[in-house]
């Protein structure tokens, strides 16, 4: 089989998706992996998984394993075990609720304190402002401020996305995957 000829490069990328309750982490993943969206909110309990297989070319396969971590209040006590072995992360906030962006620094600090690349550097992390199909609130209206915020907190980049309207989902995912593969 082509898997056994020794020439196929097959890599597994563990990527975390974290952020406050109901910001749209599950919706982002469902849109990216299954091109599906639901208006109905069902809170994730603990952690969920999704896998997307990318054929970069005829010699390389990338298995993108997305870890969908619940945003529930007490989850931070359990994140160490979830973060183990992760190569990158998305932190998701809701552009309609400023306080979910205020929590981003807490999520980033938790991430950086619990997982690093083999050389000790922080894992690449992209900030996602979801629900951009709706009215934005706060500094997300100011791209220059957002750029500054990202630089200050060590984010690779930030994107406004909409899981509902399928805006910037592929672009954000591709940017993080490229960043991981470029480090490797
Ligand atoms: P937890 O698992 O509880 O942490 O929530 P979550 O971050 O996984 O959020 P989830 O994806 O379940 O979405 C929460 C609610 O927001 C649901 O009712 C979704 O339908 C809605 N939602 C998600 N993405 C979007 C979006 O892009 N636009 C709009 N308008 N609503 C969205
Ligand atoms: Mg969820």
Instruction: Determine the distance separating the centroid of ligand 1 and the alpha carbon of 8, expressed in angstroms.
Output: 37
**Average pLDDT along the chain:** 94
pLDDT at 1: 42
pLDDT at 183: 75
Nearest atom (ligand 1) to Cα of 165? 27
The environment of the single-atom ion ligand 2, i.e. residues with CB closer than 5 A, is 25-26, 44
pLDDT at 116: 96
How wide is the angle at C-alpha 91 spanned by C-alphas 53 and 115, nearest 5°? Answer: 80
Residues of the chain above pLDDT 90, percent: 88
Q: Strands 47-57, 60-69: parallel, antiparallel or unpaired by DSSP?
A: antiparallel
Can you say how many angstroms the Cα of residue 125 is from the centroid of all Cα atoms in its chain? 7
ipTM of the complex: 0.99
pLDDT at 97: 97
pLDDT at 6: 64
User: Which of 18-22, 46-50, 57-61, 121-125 bottoms out in mean pLDDT, i.e. has the lowest?
Assistant: 57-61
Confidence band of 8 (pLDDT split at 50, 70, 90): confident
Rounded to two decimals, the pTM is 0.95
Nearest CA to ligand 1 atom 5: 22
C-beta separation of 130 from 91 below 8 A: no
Going 33 to 34 to 39 to 40, the CA torsion angle's sign is negative
Instruction: Determine the distance separating the centroid of ligand 1 and the alpha carbon of 130, expressed in angstroms.
Output: 8
43 within ligand 1 shell (Cβ under 6 A): yes
**pLDDT (average), residues 43-57:** 95
Instruction: Determine the distance separating the centroid of ligand 1 and the alpha carbon of 147, expressed in angstroms.
Output: 24
pLDDT at 73: 84
Rg (the chain; Cα; Å): 16
Nearest atom (ligand 1) to Cα of 44? 2
Nearest CA to ligand 1 atom 3: 43
CA distances from 16 to 58, 81, 99, 183 (A): 27, 12, 21, 17
Instruction: Check pLDDT > 70 for residue 40.
Output: yes
162 within ligand 1 shell (Cβ under 6 A): yes
C-beta separation of 93 from 127 below 8 A: yes
pLDDT at 56: 87
Instruction: Determine the distance separating the centroid of ligand 1 and the alpha carbon of 40, expressed in angstroms.
Output: 8
């Amino acid at each position: 089989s082509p898997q056994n000829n020794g020439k196929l490069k097959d890599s597994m990328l563990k990527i975390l998706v974290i952020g406050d309750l109901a910001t749209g982490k599950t919706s982002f993943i469902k849109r990216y992996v299954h091109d599906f969206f639901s208006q109905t909110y069902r809170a994730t309990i603990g952690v969920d998984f999704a896998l997307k297989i990318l054929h970069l070319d005829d010699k390389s396969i990338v298995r993108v394993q997305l870890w969908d971590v619940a945003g529930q209040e007490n989850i931070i006590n359990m994140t160490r075990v979830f973060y183990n072995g992760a190569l990158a992360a998305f932190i998701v906030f809701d552009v309609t609720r400023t306080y979910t962006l205020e929590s981003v620094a807490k999520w980033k600090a938790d991430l950086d304190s619990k997982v690093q690349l083999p050389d000790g550097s922080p894992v690449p992390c992209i900030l996602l402002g979801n629900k951009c199909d709706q009215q934005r609130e706060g500094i997300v209206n100011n791209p220059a401020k957002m750029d500054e915020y990202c630089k200050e907190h060590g984010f690779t980049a930030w994107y406004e996305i909409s899981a509902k309207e399928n805006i910037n989902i592929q672009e954000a995912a591709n940017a993080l995957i490229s960043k991981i593969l470029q480090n490797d």
